[in-house]
Amino acid sequence: MSKITALIRYKNSVESLPRVLAALKSQTLAVDRILAVDSGSTDGSTALLKNSNADVITWAKTYHHSTVLNYGIEHCETPLVLCLSSHTVISDPDGVRKMSTQMEDTNVAATSIKWDNDPFYSDQIDWTELKEKGMKLGSIYTNSLGLIRRQHWLDHRFDEDLNGIEDYEWAIYQLRSGRLIKRLNLNIDYIRQGNSREFRDTARIFSIANRYQLPITWLGRKEACLRILKNLGGKFAGDPVAHKEFDICRRRLAGSLLWKFMDLNR
């Protein structure tokens, strides 16, 4: 099997990193190197990583998803790079092995986890499938836990005009170039809570779809859309799940209407 570098971006992740690193160390297929990019951590995360035999490099400028990823991969030398969030715990001990096995087909540019059980896309996506089905929110590849072939990154780096969903754009470029993207069901724990990105990510997806001339299935699954529509008119006031779905719909609608007027690099 090809050698693998695990690339971890972090800042003040001392609460999640112990579990992330323990899960990585427990894999039945060990990575050959851990490379961590520090973007201003002050909470002991760096010491924790160094104690786990990680090599640490420093990003001194403002954090930017695409730029920091590119910076990290520049310092990787292995054929495969495992992009791993400092908040993603690979609970499946065979996770790295399963992902690496998918890369034995040299036409596969990347493989990653599936965020949901939506069967909208197949587990091996090509350009024909994407053109026929169009883009939906979410992603066909994710840098939270994704294994990429570095030589294809050399051909097309993560787009630094996009600060977020750079993984989606990169995967689409690979598909258009005739390569494949694979997806796996793996047990993970994503231990982070953040602000909703539905509005801005929807805008970014509309921009990418326009770039590649792809149709958009922007609301996702039909069942969810119908449930949201049925809950219009205040009927969901006492249902927190329905209220959350409606809020997602509202944010996505705003992003779909305003994307042409937004700075997508912020």
What is the pLDDT, as a whole number, of residue 243?
67
What is the pLDDT, as a whole number, of residue 205?
81
Distance CA 192, CA 5 (A): 23
What is the pLDDT, as a whole number, of residue 258?
66
Distance CA 239, CA 237 (A): 6
Total Cβ atoms within 10 A of residue 62: 10
Distance CA 23, CA 5 (A): 15
- Residue 67: DSSP 8-state: H
Distance CA 176, CA 188 (A): 29
What is the pLDDT, as a whole number, of residue 195?
57
What is the pLDDT, as a whole number, of residue 172?
96
Distance CA 134, CA 116 (A): 18
Task: Kindly list the structural domains of the chain, giving each domain's residue range(s) and its CATH number in brackets, ordered by start.
Answer: 4-190 (3.90.550.10), 198-261 (no CATH)
What is the pLDDT, as a whole number, of residue 119?
84
> What's the chain's Rg over C-alpha atoms?
19
What is the pLDDT, as a whole number, of residue 232?
57
What is the pLDDT, as a whole number, of residue 266?
62
Determine the angle formed by the axes of helices 198-212 and 240-258, rounding to 10 degrees.
Answer: 40
What is the pLDDT, as a whole number, of residue 168?
92
DSSP-derived pairing of the beta strands 180-184 and 124-125: antiparallel
- The ranges of the chain with pLDDT < 70 are 192-197, 199-200, 218-246, 248, 251-266
